Copies of this chain bind each other. A is one copy, B any other.
Amino acid sequence: MARPLKALQMPNLGESIKDFAWRQITESGASSLSLRKIARELGITAPAIYNYFSDRDALVTALIIDAYASFGDCQHEAKASFPDPGQEVERLRATGIAYRQWALQYPHRYLLIFGSPVPGYVPPMQELLPVMMRSLGALTGVIAELHAGGRLDAHGIPPPVAEPGHRLFTLMGSADPGMLSVYSVAMLIWSRVHGIVSLEVTGQLPPFAEDGEALYRFELDSICRQFIRPSVAVPDATGFFRNR
């Protein structure tokens, strides 16, 4: 037999391959992903997969893109849960909480994105940049809104080096150079959130600190304390907007 009748074929084989790949990753980790094993479970031969993915790396890239989509959806949903003006702080906290929840709910997706799990795989940044920017866009969006509302404290933050036309401007949705340090704030917050969550997900926190949730909530609190001014029209003893 060379090719089965269409009636016997599996519909959407491309999606099925990804499904089985995810199942395999979830069961035994991303490192043990095997085209042959996927084919075996799908009842086809291994080279047939090459009709849908030119490479094993192409499959991994497709999985990463899906993971980023799931992650980005989660981030944007969390952000949209506090849509009203004046809810910027709650919006920021919600995206932060959602970050950790998503990572704990889908540790393998998280590790596929932020770890380096698959043997010889090198991520094609050019292809991944759009989905990376979209998911990061939830955070940068919140920060930009805080900035617009005059509640962002970005003093002393080193702005990234970027000439006009740089992708950072398109990410921020603005060509205002003053937005660049706003963007640096997003990177700093991202790195803090990522730091504690990555340690927790990879199991490097548990040997030392058992209660990841408490640590994480403290970290979110101190992030808010550092980068957010108290609400407008609440001057302190020394002056306006001077909470440091």
Q: Which residue of B lies closest to A237 (CB)?
A: B237
Tell whether, in the assembled complex, residue B120 and residue A116 are in contact, meaning their CB atoms are under 8 Å apart. Answer: no
Question: Known contacts being A125-B207, A211-B158, is A119 close to B194, with CB within 8 Å?
Answer: no
* Closest chain B residue, CB of each to CB of A205: B187
**Docked pose: A65 CA to B205 CA in angstroms:** 18
Q: Which of B118, B129, B194 contacts A195 (CB 8 A)?
A: B194
Interface band, chain A? 35 or more
A111 at the interface (CB under 8 A from B): yes
Number of copies: 2
A156 touches B210 (CB 8 A): no
**In the complex, which of the residues A157, A183, A190, A219 has the most CB atoms of chain B within 10 Å of its own CB atom?**
A190
CB <8 Å contact, B116 and A119: no
Interface-facing stretch out of A17-25, A38-46, A47-55, A196-204: A196-204
Closest 7 CB pairs of A and B: A195-B195, A158-B214, A191-B196, A191-B195, A31-B119, A160-B209, A187-B209
